Amino acid sequence: MQKILIFQQNGSGKSKVEGINLFGEKKFIIKTYDIDEPLPALIDDTSPYLPETIDADIVLDFLKHRDLSDDLSVLCEKLNIPVIASGKKIITGEAICPPT
């Protein structure tokens, strides 16, 4: 089974998780990485918020904070894990950013 890790802030990926569970026919193992605390406008060091490593086949980025998304993209590039960040304009790493 394919492992999907969803990064979200304050439940921002909830409806997507529900959709994957509903229509995915139990072909995926879905885990979420939740960041629910208030964040500063600028995050110089995202290491307190992001994991050091990721065990997933694909990452879905529903984070709202640009600094977190940028660094998540770089981390996934280093780990050779594709990351989808729909509707975002990430210029670091190799995130796939389709329009919404």
**Model confidence, pTM:** 0.90
Q: What is the CATH number of the domain that holds 20?
A: 3.40.50
In a domain, 53, yes or no: yes
Q: How many domains does the chain have?
A: 1
pLDDT string in tens for the chain (100-residue length) = 999 999 999 999 999 999 999 999 889 999 999 999 999 999 999 999 999 999 999 999 999 999 999 999 999 999 999 999 987 777 777 788 877 7
C-alpha to C-alpha distance for 47 and 80, rounded to whole angstroms:
19
| Residue ranges making up the domain that contains 14 | 2-84
In a domain, 91, yes or no: no
Q: What share of the chain is helix, strand, coil (3-state, %, to 5)?
A: 25, 25, 50
In a domain, 89, yes or no: no
- Per DSSP, 10 falls in state T
In a domain, 93, yes or no: no
